Structure 1
Amino acid sequence: MSAEDTAYVTYVYAVARDGDALRESAAEPAGVAGAPVRIIPGTGDGAPVFVASSVSAQDFDEAALRRHLEDLEWLEAVARAHHAVIERLGAATTVLPLRLATVYLDDDRAREALDADRATFEQLLARLEGHVEWGVKIYVEAPDEAVSPPPPGPASSPGVGPGRAYLGNRRAQRSVRDSAHRAARTAAERIEAAGRAFATDRARHRVQQGELAGSRDENVVNDAYLLRADLSDAFRAEVAHAADDLPGVRVDVTGPWVPYSFATAPEPAAAEGGPS
């Protein structure tokens, strides 16, 4: 198939308000599959717009997307490009991110969906304006090797057999871990208090386990907070010190991000496919 015969579909990244800042930021990055990023206007004055690209139907129609769900390398490349566009847009203006691989047959179908949900999109954009997202994770740290079970062998203390020494060490481990979990609850209460003082909203996410956790430590809280940009520093300062006096507990604060966790948009009815 020649370049002239290639069929395209419309890939949409986000909803935004039109303006110079949006158009300047959209003009800079290449998007998914290296495609140029462009604006699809809604109908009527002041209507929200879609930020989109034209991508090959061979890779992005409904059947192709189903095939690609098992191709982790392909999905990672698409996700990186998708989020790179949104982050650049979000640095310039308020954007409402859409889910990965929101695809329409063409611009007309995309515009129909944009117009159909105009009121909801406008409400969400107004809510997110001037706001950013901060992520907060609390970890219970893995026990030190000092309280780990000893290797099989002679007891280190006279009169104490290997079995009893092992059980003693297990009890010590449980005690340390129980104390750390209590301390983590204290840290969570402090962070929630900071959220009530500074944040507009809070979203609770599933805690990360295994490889997603990124360490041996146990992730016990995985929250996102929506904050006015001018209150971010005060919130971050409170949260960063929430575990200073709590042994066995670590708090990670990340951001500011485009507020993905608070951009719950309606499922585009006219979308032709894409992974959920």
Structure 2
Amino acid sequence: MSDASLTYAYAVARDRTPALAAEAGTLTGVAGAPVRLLTPDRTTTPVAVVSHVPAEDFHEAALHRHLEDLGWLEALARAHHGVIEALAAHTTVLPLRLATVYLDDDRVRAMLDDNQKLFFDGLERLRGHVELGVKLYVEAEPRPPAATDAPPDPALSPGRAYLRRRRTEQDARHDAHRAAEEAAQRIAVIARAHAVQWARHRVQEGELATGPGQNVVNDAYLVPADHVRAFREETMHATDGLPGLRVDVTGPWAPYSFATLTPPEPGTASAP
């Protein structure tokens, strides 16, 4: 490593297996750098998945500046998650926070040594599990009952007719949100049967929104691999009989929302 580069850490795995090493050797990570595996100084496990990144883009001040650039951040996230998902297909990995950067490989090795039990406990907890995302949407403009499409009552003044239409539209929105509460309760019942952990995320708005309608639920679930199909199928029926709603199930993913994260050491930077 040169003085002009830092060490970017993606994830931690328990062992340096031949399959993991072979897969890592095929991957290109952040900033187009080849992905490598690092082992601790005092033992051979766990292993960190890393690559070199240019210091000029990833030292603390530059990183904070770049994180305000949505295009740069999107490219970083795509490369980061691409590495993790590729390795998660071969073994259990403990994802690290986006933009976890160390001054050099030796700092990563020391981090592995110092947190060995933490990593082993986390990897054991996640073994055989994946993350599924559930998003629930309310239609952006709920359609009021068909009766309101009838010609306006000639006995009403324009002002009163307008107020009636507004009240009907508000009632339709309230009905949609009550239906969303019912759907969320159904999903909670399904999760109790299939998931072992649950994490609530901020609903997606503005540029983060990925579909039509208002996102009212954005949750993640840690699900045993052999329950994924049942969880997905049952959740997709959570809105049955509830008009104006849409549910999306994403994944399976590496368990980002349930990873025990290592705080960055002094002299490193990580994304919020």
Give the TM-score taking structure 2 as reference length: 0.91
Q: Aligned-pair distance for 1:275?
A: 2.7
> Do structure 1's residue 169 and structure 2's residue 187 form an aligned pair?
no
Identify if the C-alpha distance between structure 1 residues 13 and 58 changes in structure 2 by more than 3 Å, giving closer, same or farther.
Answer: same
Aligned to 1:93: 91
Deviation string for 1:120-142 (max 9, x for gaps)? 11111111111111111111223
Q: What amino acid is aligned across from residue 172 of structure 1 in structure 2?
A: T
3-state DSSP class of the match of 2:187?
A: helix
Q: 2:132 aligns with which of 116, 131, 134?
A: 134
Q: Aligned-pair distance for 1:198?
A: 0.7
Aligned to 2:203: 207
The answer to whether the 8 Å contact 2:96/2:262 transfers is no
The answer to whether the 8 Å contact 1:102/1:271 transfers is no
Identify if the C-alpha distance between structure 1 residues 271 and 257 changes in structure 2 by more than 3 Å, giving closer, same or farther.
Answer: farther
Aligned to 1:7: 4
The answer to whether the 8 Å contact 1:110/1:270 transfers is no
Identify if the C-alpha distance between structure 1 residues 40 and 122 changes in structure 2 by more than 3 Å, giving closer, same or farther.
Answer: same
Identify if the C-alpha distance between structure 1 residues 131 and 13 changes in structure 2 by more than 3 Å, giving closer, same or farther.
Answer: same
Deviation string for 1:12-50 (max 9, x for gaps)? 111112212211221111111111100110244452111
Q: What amino acid is aligned across from residue 12 of structure 2 in structure 1?
A: V
3-state DSSP class of the match of 2:49?
A: strand
In structure 2, how many angstroms separate the alpha carbons of the residues matched to 1:47 and 1:271? Answer: 24
Identify if the C-alpha distance between structure 1 residues 270 and 116 changes in structure 2 by more than 3 Å, giving closer, same or farther.
Answer: farther
The answer to whether the 8 Å contact 2:142/2:172 transfers is no
Q: What amino acid is aligned across from residue 66 of structure 2 in structure 1?
A: H
> Do structure 1's residue 225 and structure 2's residue 226 form an aligned pair?
no
Q: Aligned-pair distance for 1:215?
A: 4.2
Range that drifts further, 69-78 or 179-188 = 69-78
The answer to whether the 8 Å contact 1:6/1:56 transfers is no
Aligned to 1:262: 258
Gap runs ≥5 in structure 1? none
Say how many residue pairs are matched.
268
Identify if the C-alpha distance between structure 1 residues 80 and 219 changes in structure 2 by more than 3 Å, giving closer, same or farther.
Answer: same
Matches of residues 84-163 of structure 1 in structure 2 within 5 Å? 84-144=82-142, 156-163=152-159
Q: Aligned-pair distance for 1:209?
A: 2.1
Q: Aligned-pair distance for 1:99?
A: 1.1
In structure 1, how many angstroms separate the alpha carbons of the residues matched to 2:95 and 2:49? Answer: 10
How well do the aligned residues superpose, as a CA RMSD in angstroms? 2.2
Identify if the C-alpha distance between structure 1 residues 25 and 211 changes in structure 2 by more than 3 Å, giving closer, same or farther.
Answer: same
The answer to whether the 8 Å contact 2:142/2:244 transfers is no
In structure 2, how many angstroms separate the alpha carbons of the residues matched to 1:216 and 1:11? Answer: 36
Deviation string for 1:209-245 (max 9, x for gaps)? 2332334522211111100111100111110101111
In structure 1, how many angstroms separate the alpha carbons of the residues matched to 2:204 and 2:66? Answer: 25
3-state DSSP class of the match of 2:96?
A: strand
In structure 2, how many angstroms separate the alpha carbons of the residues matched to 1:158 and 1:25? Answer: 73
Give the TM-score taking structure 1 as reference length: 0.90
Aligned to 1:38: 36
Aligned to 1:61: 59
In structure 1, how many angstroms separate the alpha carbons of the residues matched to 2:120 and 2:2? Answer: 37
Aligned to 1:246: 242
Q: Aligned-pair distance for 1:259?
A: 0.8
